[in-house]
Amino acid sequence: MKVLVTGGAGFIGGHVVDQLVGDGAEVVVLDSLVAHSEPPSHLPDAVDLRVADLRDPDAVAHASGDVDAVCHQAARVGLGVDLDDVADYVSDNDLGTAVLLRALWRRRFTGRLVVASSMVVYGEGRYRCPAHGVVTPGPRSGADLDAGRFEPPCPRCGAALSWDRVTEDAAPDPRNVYAATKLHTEQLAFVYGRETGAPVCALRYHNVYGPRMPRDTPYAGVASIFRSALAAGAAPRVFEDGGQVRDFVHAGDVARANVLALGSAWTGPVNVASGEPHTILEMATALCAAFGPDAPAPVVTGEYRLGDVRHVVASPERAAEVLGFEARTSFVAGMAEFAHAPLRR
């Protein structure tokens, strides 16, 4: 099988490429290398690397010309800094996906298409009210966050809510620019699938971490930000009260989910998660403990970002059922490795 991996020199894309090559696939990587000063040394020699922007129609047409499957990982990631980023996100993620799909359409491609999506399409996760059952809280207000009221209340009665696992059937509710572009990536891909009959799968990654994560950038994931702080001798700064619940899934597991998706016929969205939720403070504490006895303890700051959500915890059931995917790297083992893993500048 010959597979095009967009963004294949990046963090998650690189792990996908490793596993595909290890399984004997022929791999074409299309990557702008904007995050690299030179082609990364971790790319296997057997990879056909095409250095180009995903928005370049000719480069995309040539890279995808004879592939059997496409694994679309390329994207501008993170929440952004503020709305000044909006045009860059839409251009990189929406236009980039559109250029890819147009190239596939012009060659009448009906092979397997797997696209990288994200938990952020859900907005706030799934919540239950003691009186009203499953409810969808609205965005948290700056006044509540300033006052340290971090938990979203029931939108009907104001009661305290408990979080529940969110399934792929939940209504999307993107609450920042990045989330909106990832949802649009899914929607464009599914339109392509309906028009062509190509099987399309969107993998909704939860909080991915692991070796070769980017470091020292506001666009990096929270695990990378904490790990970079420790490497600089500083304490990880935990926003809000640290009680935000997430699912931290290792990059190696995410790569394996992609390979399984490429080999399946499932069409639709799938959560990719460990099934082992933890709070942000628990993650920071585990990372500090694994870093070494002299590591500073995490500091809970009470700071917040309006684009953040409180709790997002995935149901891993569909991934197990339709892809045969279950995470193999435990939280403890993964954090112990990540505390000393190399990061990408």
* Own/partner long-range contacts of 155-160 (Cβ < 8 Å, ≥24 apart): 156/129, 156/131, 156/132, 157/129, 157/131, 157/132, 159/129, 159/130, 159/131
Strands 133-135, 126-129: pairing is antiparallel
Interior/surface letters 77-87, b for 16+ CB within 10 angstroms, e for the rest? bbbbeeeebee
Integer Cα distance of 6 and 23 in angstroms: 18
Full domain range(s) for residue 181: 2-126+165-340
Identify whether residues 92 and 158 lie together within a single domain: no
Q: Compute the mean pLDDT over every residue in the chain, rounded to the nearest whole number.
A: 94
Identify whether residues 134 and 266 lie together within a single domain: no
Identify whether residues 213 and 315 lie together within a single domain: yes
Q: Over pLDDT 90: what percentage of the chain?
A: 86
Identify whether residues 26 and 134 lie together within a single domain: no
The yes-or-no verdict on residue 37 having pLDDT over 80 is no
Identify whether residues 156 and 170 lie together within a single domain: no
Count the Cβ atoms, other than its own, within 10 Å of residue 191.
Answer: 12
The DSSP 8-state label assigned to residue 155 in this structure reads T
Identify whether residues 95 and 159 lie together within a single domain: no
Report, as an integer, the average pLDDT of 153-179.
93
Place of tokens 């969110």: 166
Q: Most confidently modeled of 131-145, 263-277, 302-316?
A: 263-277
- pLDDT score recorded for residue 242: 98
Identify whether residues 85 and 149 lie together within a single domain: no
- How many domains are there within the chain? 2
The yes-or-no verdict on residue 131 having pLDDT over 60 is yes
Identify whether residues 259 and 314 lie together within a single domain: yes
